[in-house]
Structure 1
Amino acid sequence: MTEYEHSRTMPAAPEQVFDQAANVDQMSSWLPEALHLHAEDLPAVTVHEDRSDEDTAALLRARRDQMRLEWGTRDQGDYTGWLQVAGIDSGASEVTVHLSFFDDSHDPGEQVVRDALDSSLRRLEEQVRLRVDNAAG
């Protein structure tokens, strides 16, 4: 099993960050660029990966009371992950994403995963900033 974790501070309250992260209709704006989510009957979703041109049955659960998203493959159990939002001082939040690959053949490698996590959290922060700026203005 291989695990990865990456965090980023965002300039918004945890509720605002979580609401943006958990918005299924806008997840493609911050997920890794090669992944596309299609919500079926939540928690059931399908994830399309451009790299392999494959669709994977998955589950996605949003736990607002815990400010946590959880996901994983539905049939194989090869992969799981979570996103946790925590409030920090002065109205900011810290977002942590954790990924677990139970089958090494599904692990794209450390550098690829780290780059994808960094890019995804950066794009999520951009979406949060847009949301906060639009709400304030």
Structure 2
Amino acid sequence: MEYEESRRIQAGSAVVFDVAAELGWLPEEIETREIADDLVEAHSRETGADAAHAGLLRRVPDQLRLEWGLRERPDYAGWLQVSDQADGASEVVVHLSFLGDERPEARGASRAVDRTNRMLRRSLDRLADEVARRVPR
């Protein structure tokens, strides 16, 4: 299953990517630790779940892109892409891929699809709010 949300943000793509790459907009449940230039180790604990997840996030500044995945779940991956818009704004697209038995809907949770889409929208809201705090109007 593929999930994707996009958001228009009133700031240049370089500014938006710089804010996104700092990772302060990620959900509280995700803790990050720099392990190399443009490489971050991330740990998350799903609310109400017993399992913690460990993954890696890679920054690709020359492409204005973040890419991530989980070590124990090779059937999950995601990315965030920032692109310029004609009027000086940016578009941010965040994409998640769940393949195989790890798809949210394959786990039998009827609300998993809605929950995943809400999580993507909230993450983009936090990113837009963080950019707005840093960009003078």
TM-score, with structure 1 as normaliser: 0.83
Find the aligned partners of 1:50 and 1:113 in 2 and give their Cα distance. Answer: 12
Cα deviation for residue 72 of structure 1 reads 0.3
What is aligned with 2:5? 6
Taking the TM superposition and a 5 Å limit, the aligned residue runs for 1:61-76 are: 61-76=58-73
Identity, in percent, stands at 43
Find the aligned partners of 2:34 and 2:17 in 1 and give their Cα distance. Answer: 21
What is aligned with 1:39? 33
Find the aligned partners of 2:102 and 2:73 in 1 and give their Cα distance. Answer: 12
Equivalent residue letter for 2:128: E
Cα deviation for residue 23 of structure 1 reads 0.6
Please, which runs of 5 or more residues in structure 1 have no aligned partner?
Answer: none
Cα deviation for residue 53 of structure 1 reads 4.8
Distance 1:57 1:40, change over 3 A: farther
Cα deviation for residue 129 of structure 1 reads 0.5
Q: CA-atom RMSD, angstroms?
A: 1.9
Q: Do the aligned partners of 1:59 and 1:73 also contact (CA within 8 Å) in 2?
A: yes
Deviations along 1:49-101, whole A, 9 cap, x unmatched?
A: 24125332211101010000000012331310000000002210000000001
Q: Do the aligned partners of 1:32 and 1:117 also contact (CA within 8 Å) in 2?
A: no
- For these two proteins, the number of residue pairs brought into alignment is 128
Task: State yes or no: 1:95 paired with 2:65.
Answer: no
Equivalent residue letter for 2:42: T
Please, which runs of 5 or more residues in structure 2 have no aligned partner?
Answer: 106-111
